[in-house]
Amino acid sequence: MTKNIVHFSRALADPTRWRIIRLVLADALCVCELADILEMPQSSVSSHVQVIRKAGLLESEKCEKWTYFRIEPKYRELVGTLEKFFESDDAVLKTDAARARTRLGVRETSCCPGPKSLKS
């Protein structure tokens, strides 16, 4: 992980990565959950997650064969501030949030067991 401002900025500078960052701001999600929510292939989501992780923005928890990701606590306030400053009424982000609520609602009956220590 890095504290390099360029890597940090690169992690925020992609629309898909920003969507992922928003989704894992409060809830820990695994790649398959993110892929379902974003309606993208897991391999693409995984690539984006790795850029965000390498920039140091994510904490993670391995649970069985799944790894759950959530924004590092020290960056939550910063991401929240950026969100308030730059986002107004983005329909894509609202759709993502609704899909995330639906996906988390079926977590217990899905393939993903859910995190143990990164619970909201």
Domain ranges for the chain: 5-107
Most distant CA pair in the chain: distance in Å? 40
Average pLDDT over residues 27-49: 95
Distance CA 3, CA 60 (A): 17
pLDDT tens string 57-112: 999 999 888 999 999 999 999 998 888 887 666 889 889 999 999 999 988 888 87
Note the pLDDT of residue 119.
65
Q: What are phi and psi of 91, to 5 degrees?
A: -65, -35
Given this model, what pLDDT does residue 26 score?
A: 83
- Report residue 5 as tokens: 């401002």
Instruction: Please tell me whether residue 30 adopts helix, strand or coil conformation.
Output: strand
pLDDT at position 2 over 60: no
Residue 114 reports pLDDT greater than 90: no
Q: Which fold has domain 5-107?
A: Arc Repressor Mutant, subunit A (1.10.10)
Residue 29 bridge partners (DSSP) = 69
Average pLDDT, the chain: 89
Best CA proximity match to 26, nearest among 64, 65, 71: 71
Confidence of residue 5 (pLDDT cuts 50, 70, 90): confident
